[in-house]
Chains A and B, each alone.
Chain A
């Protein structure tokens, strides 16, 4: 049994009005894709934000390959190998595609440029648009850019928040396909997704969240065939 890359124990995330996540335990291993599914408000996004250190009152243990992330600011977590693809893409709109990629790299000049070319190989649509300002890209292209940007620092753990939101089905499929490929290189992917079916098709394991807690967990295949899933995602 491989050691978990990410080990979360007793995680609680609270904001002023919302108790988003309650005493949650979760493990993610290298090379696997874990899907977080659940209705909106279930706490998926808050969980990812809590793991990244982006606000909220967070209690509990977050261990990344043994290092405790609790209390560290997001920059430090990124440097320890956590990548983050935020909900809504949030590319740097005033910068070009290429600049978005370059700024995310922590390598020196030559390695940085090489990494950028790797990204263009992985996402050919971006290569075509490398000099376009990011606000001109389509939703799907921006999503690709957001993922590629997070990959530039070669994260060990990639947190992806609602990547298919607002995307046309074809673009959504592309993104999900890419995420599978990333896991194949050895990184772990923790994916929060509203589109449960697409997420389950891409994932190895799935965690169903409801009201800030884990309601079910298992292999993606098992959950995809589960009727309870249907019910609980729509409430009740």
Chain B
């Protein structure tokens, strides 16, 4: 029973992580580069939600789209500043530029909001529900529902719309996509915007139950990175599964030891996986151009 409770909490956390990992892997596929600022975008989303809640007397579910839109704009800025000038350089340059951008965002947030933890409004309602002896926070349900909705929407976008197909084509073979008339620059910018919007949504969702501080960003990016390594570099489904695994692991271990130890063990687990499977637990994405 205890375990089920933990699992339930883990799934809620994992749903939020899945949004972060999804954004991360979308950028990875589209550009071949690691966006180290992805985690700080999550924190930014949380704080944008906090700020908006202070200005607008609207309920959480109305603020969420607004947060997403603002974060999408931030994502465009990220791509313009940290990716576009470096698009012809080896991916390590973008790794570093996004680390730098992460520092800027993190410390900008620190300057604007201070270092103490803040909470964003809940999406629908706070409080808890009980059923069958299990306790679940309403916000956790909101997180799971919203994440499922958003991931489903992204999935639909990518598989059923022309825009989504173009995004995938750009990610698979940029040169050929251009030769087919696809505006690859715009596609990449859009990918950044989408990834940032997803990160922002995750930030707002998490900031209610878990509080948000400017330094949380580093934590999120490392978890997203681990999720993608476990799930298979470049695989969307794998990234989502990896995110869930990371969250479950973290929740279960943190209940028995403490949070820091959970994180440490997570790293050890990941390192162990890489020792035996240097290409990730499920291998790299099928059929991608090397």
CA distance A13 to B274 in the complex (A): 44
Name the contact of B180 in the complex, choosing from A95, A134, A135, A153 (C-beta under 8 A): A153
In the complex, the answer to whether B289 meets A78 with C-beta atoms within 8 Å is: no
Residues of A within 8 A of B (CB): 52, 54-55, 73-75, 78-79, 84, 86, 90, 92-95, 99, 102-106, 112, 133-135, 149-150, 153
Q: A92-B169, A95-B169 are in contact. Are A78 and B285 (CB under 8 A)?
A: no
Q: A103-B162, A134-B287, A135-B286 are in contact. Are A92 and B182 (CB under 8 A)?
A: no
8 Å CB interface, B145-163 against A: 162
CB-defined contacts of A106 to chain B, threshold 8 Å: 181
CB-defined contacts of A133 to chain B, threshold 8 Å: 287
Q: How large is the interface on B (under 10, 10 to 19, 20 to 34, 35 or more residues)?
A: 20 to 34
Q: A94-B287, A103-B162 are in contact. Are A75 and B176 (CB under 8 A)?
A: no
Name the contact of A150 in the complex, choosing from B165, B180, B287, B289 (C-beta under 8 A): B180
In the complex, the answer to whether B179 meets A94 with C-beta atoms within 8 Å is: no
In the complex, the answer to whether A103 meets B179 with C-beta atoms within 8 Å is: no
Residues of B within 8 A of A (CB): 162, 165-166, 168-169, 172-173, 175-176, 178-184, 285-289
Name the contact of B184 in the complex, choosing from A75, A90, A95, A150 (C-beta under 8 A): A75
CA distance A133 to B176 in the complex (A): 17
CA distance A134 to B289 in the complex (A): 13
Question: Looking across the interface, which residue of chain B has its beta carbon closest to that of A103?
Answer: B165
Q: A90-B173, A103-B162, A135-B286 are in contact. Are A95 and B168 (CB under 8 A)?
A: yes
Closest 8 CB pairs of A and B: A93-B287, A78-B181, A135-B287, A103-B165, A74-B178, A84-B179, A94-B287, A104-B180
Identify 29 residue pairs between A and B in the complex whose beta-carbon atoms are under 8 Å apart, listed by A's number.
Answer: A52-B179, A54-B175, A54-B178, A74-B175, A74-B179, A78-B178, A78-B180, A84-B180, A90-B173, A92-B168, A92-B173, A92-B176, A93-B172, A93-B287, A93-B289, A94-B168, A94-B172, A94-B285, A94-B286, A94-B288, A99-B165, A103-B165, A103-B166, A103-B180, A103-B182, A105-B162, A133-B287, A134-B287, A149-B180
CB distance from A45 to the nearest CB of B (A): 13
CA distance A99 to B162 in the complex (A): 9
CB-defined contacts of B172 to chain A, threshold 8 Å: 92-95
Q: A93-B172, A93-B287, A135-B286 are in contact. List 5 more A-B contacts (CB 8 A).
A: A54-B178, A78-B178, A78-B179, A104-B180, A133-B287
Q: A94-B168, A99-B165 are in contact. Are A75 and B183 (CB under 8 A)?
A: yes
CB distance from B172 to the nearest CB of A (A): 5
CB distance from A38 to the nearest CB of B (A): 22
CA distance A95 to B182 in the complex (A): 16
CB-defined contacts of B286 to chain A, threshold 8 Å: 93-94, 135
CB-defined contacts of A105 to chain B, threshold 8 Å: 162
CA distance A209 to B168 in the complex (A): 37
CB distance from B180 to the nearest CB of A (A): 5
In the complex, the answer to whether A102 meets B289 with C-beta atoms within 8 Å is: no
In the complex, the answer to whether B176 meets A86 with C-beta atoms within 8 Å is: yes
CA distance A103 to B167 in the complex (A): 9
CB-defined contacts of A104 to chain B, threshold 8 Å: 180-181
CB-defined contacts of B179 to chain A, threshold 8 Å: 52, 54, 74, 78, 84, 86
In the complex, the answer to whether B184 meets A102 with C-beta atoms within 8 Å is: no
CA distance A55 to B88 in the complex (A): 12
In the complex, the answer to whether B169 meets A75 with C-beta atoms within 8 Å is: no
CA distance A93 to B289 in the complex (A): 8
Q: A79-B181, A90-B173, A92-B168 are in contact. Are A102 and B162 (CB under 8 A)?
A: yes
CB distance from A103 to the nearest CB of B (A): 4
Question: Looking across the interface, which residue of chain A has its beta carbon closest to that of B183?
Answer: A75
CB-defined contacts of B183 to chain A, threshold 8 Å: 75
CB-defined contacts of A75 to chain B, threshold 8 Å: 178, 181-184
CB-defined contacts of B184 to chain A, threshold 8 Å: 75
Question: Looking across the interface, which residue of chain B has its beta carbon closest to that of A80?
Answer: B181
Question: Looking across the interface, which residue of chain A has its beta carbon closest to that of B180?
Answer: A104
Question: Looking across the interface, which residue of chain A has its beta carbon closest to that of B165?
Answer: A103
CB distance from B185 to the nearest CB of A (A): 8
CB distance from A68 to the nearest CB of B (A): 18
CB distance from A53 to the nearest CB of B (A): 8
